[in-house]
Amino acid sequence: MTAQIQDLRFTARGRQAMRLLRTLLCAVAIVGGAFFVATQSFSAAAGSEAESVGIDAEAVVVGEGESLWAVAVGLGLDRDTRDVVADIVDINHLSSPVVHPGQTLDVPQR
């Protein structure tokens, strides 16, 4: 069997296919690396969103049957609840004030 492997030769078309395969593998590695770096940068930036809004924040887990309003009231801040809800929506980049049990939210500190 070793003799058969040593006698293996590519035609011009086979060499061209191997070059194409090698080029595609390099392209996939480059694009994959760029995607990985971009997602790491995005997640690092997302971790500092509360700081970019200018609010000291802490994490809170939404309880069963709890609404965003209830979370805001439960913080016990000496501010209008509507403003606290708006801050929570801004900090967490929520598209709506709907939250789900078990969801972790960054909220303004007490």
pLDDT digits (tens, 9 = 90+) for 66-102: 999 999 898 888 889 899 899 889 888 888 888 989 9
As given in the structure block, the two tokens for residue 37 are: 């770096």
Cα–Cα distances in angstroms (integers) from residue 100 to residues 24, 36, 63, 71, 85, in the given order: 43, 29, 8, 12, 15
Q: Say how many Å lie between the first and final Cα of the chain, rounded.
A: 75
Q: Classify domain 54-108 at the CATH class level.
A: alpha beta
Please give the single-letter amino acid code of residue 94.
L
Q: Can you tell me whether residue 9 is helix, strand or coil?
A: coil
pTM (whole model) above 0.85: no
CA distance 22 to 39: 26
Residue written as tokens 């994959």?
32
Give residue 59's pLDDT: 86
Per-domain boundaries in the chain: 2-47, 54-108
